[in-house]
Amino acid sequence: MQESKINIPLLGDTFPEFSASTSHGPMNLPGDLKGQWFVLFSHPADFTPVCTTEFVAFQKRIKAFEDMGVKLIGMSVDQVFSHIKWVEWIEEKLDVEITFPIVAANDTIANKLGMLHPGKGSNTVRAVFVVDPESKVRLVLYYPQEIGRNMDEIVRATKAMMASDANGVAMPAGWPDNELIGEKVIVPPAQSQEEAKKRPDQYECYDWWFCYRDLK
C-alpha cells in the first residue's frame, strides 16, 4: 500500500502557483500579489465555531496588516457560495464585516500546500503561510483543528520579518517586548576576530557574539 505524500512548502521555497475562485472573484497566486507581502491562512470549514472566532479575530486586526502593506487571504475547500453566505452570517449575527477574500480551494490546491492531512478527513488543517514580495515562503504555521490561532503572533512575526529584512538584523524572542533587550534588535554575528574585538565599542553587548542596537 502506497503512502500518500504530504507536500508542505519549506521556508525559502517559492509559494506554489494556483488559480482559484474567491469571495472577491478569481485570483492567481502568487502572481497577482507579486511585489507584495501576503498572509494566506486556511481553515477547516465554514460555519464552524472555532473558524468563526478566527475570522472575527483576523478582521479585527485587518488595519495592522494593511498598515504594513500586507494582504490577508483566507482559504478552505468550501465552495464560494458557502464563503459568501458565511461572511453574510458573520456580518448579520456578529456585526463584523469580513473585508478580505476567501479562496475556494480544491483538493489539488490543498495538497500543494500540505493542508489535507491523513486521518483528518476532507477538512483542511489550520495553516498559515507568510509570503514575501519575491513570492518566497517566509513563515509556515500549522495548528490542529481543535486549537484556534493567535492572530497577534501572526501580526508580530510578519512585522518582525519585514523589519529584519529592511535593517539586516535579527529579532529577539517576543520582539518588541523582549525580556533582555526590550525593543532593541540583535546585530549579526562578527565574521572575524578583528571584527569581534570592535563589537563592544560599536554596540551594546553582553559579549562580542551578543550585541544589540536600537531599530532605526
The answer to whether the Cα torsion of 194, 197, 203, 206 is positive or negative is positive
The band of 157, judged by pLDDT with boundaries at 50, 70 and 90, is very high
* pLDDT tens-digit series, residues 165-203: 999 999 999 999 999 999 999 999 999 999 999 999 999
**What pLDDT does residue 117 have?**
62
- 156 alpha-carbon distance from chain centroid: 10
Average pLDDT of the chain, as a whole number: 92
Is the pLDDT at 17 greater than 70? The verdict is yes
Q: How confident is the model at residue 115 (pLDDT cuts 50, 70, 90)?
A: confident
Reduced 3-state DSSP string for 100-113? CCEEECCHHHHHHC
Q: In the predicted model, is pLDDT for residue 69 greater than 80?
A: yes
Q: What is the pLDDT of residue 167?
A: 96
> CB 142: neighbour CB atoms within 10 A?
13
Note the pLDDT of residue 3: 45
2 has a pLDDT exceeding 50:
no
Q: Give the pLDDT score at 120.
A: 57
Q: What is the mean pLDDT of residues 110-128?
A: 74
Question: Which domains can be identified in the chain, with CATH numbers?
Answer: 18-149 (3.40.30.10), 168-216 (3.30.1020.10)
Q: Which residue has the higher pLDDT, 142 or 94?
A: 94
Phi, psi at 211, each rounded to 5°: -115, 155
Strand order in the sheet with 204-207: 185-186, 210-213, 204-207
* pLDDT for the residue numbered 123: 63
Active-site residue list: 51
